[in-house]
Amino acid sequence: MFNFKNSAIFVFLGIAIFALSSCGPPGDARKYPPNPDARVKKNLEEGRGFRLDNLGKKKGGDFMFASANELWRASLDTIDFMPLSSVNYSGGIIVTDWYSDGESLNESVKISIRFLTNEVRTDALDIKVFYKKCNQELNCKISQKTGSLVAELKKEILTKAAVYKKQKKEKNFKEYKGLGKVE
């Protein structure tokens, strides 16, 4: 027979199973110390978790904008001299308009940057450079180029992104003064 007591137990079990299953994937154990106090200290110093000493302070919402992504910011900073044709943060792509430095009027360049991941690593970006060369009758030939310019752009973007990531980590660092002794 089904009664209120049995239904309360099923509801409690359902909530417990849901809560335990939504914990997410485990982290890399090599990156975290085995001592629980040291893990707490590391997480709080890196800005993860919450602190009770911040409860009374008024603070704005925590919004994730494109400026929070180091690769995105570094890419825009690297190509800031070029006019942008299409920028889509949610789609992960930046496309510039045709650009000419003014010295060679018959030649222009267009850059496409696609983001494959948010992590700062060498395979995170797919960069394509297109050249357009026109003759006097305005017949233009467009070709995709690979080589040194693509490599230089990728290196510049990744270097800036690494700097931004380091600055963000240093900004979020706040020393943890716990109750126990941490080794």
Find the range with the poorest average confidence among 2-16, 67-81, 116-130, 137-151.
Answer: 2-16
Instruction: For residue 1, give Cα distances in angstroms to 5, 12, 60.
Output: 11, 19, 52
pLDDT in tens, 14-26: 676 666 554 544 5
Q: Note the pLDDT of residue 180.
A: 56
- List of domains in the chain: 66-169 (3.30.530)
Asked if the model's pLDDT at residue 41 lies above 90, the reply is: no
Average pLDDT over residues 32-59: 64
Asked if the model's pLDDT at residue 43 lies above 80, the reply is: no
Share of the chain above pLDDT 90, in %: 27
Which ranges of the chain would DSSP assign to H, the alpha helix?
4-21, 36-45, 70-78, 148-172
- Specify which residues 94 forms β-bridges with: 87, 113
Residue 170's pLDDT band, with cuts at 50, 70 and 90, is: confident
0.75 cut: is pTM over it?
no
Find the range with the poorest average confidence among 21-25, 51-55, 117-121.
Answer: 21-25
Asked if the model's pLDDT at residue 173 lies above 70, the reply is: no
Give how far the C-alpha of residue 138 lies from the chain's centroid of Cα atoms, to the nearest Å. Answer: 41
Reported residue count of the chain is: 183
What kind and span of H or E run contains 85? Answer: strand 84-88
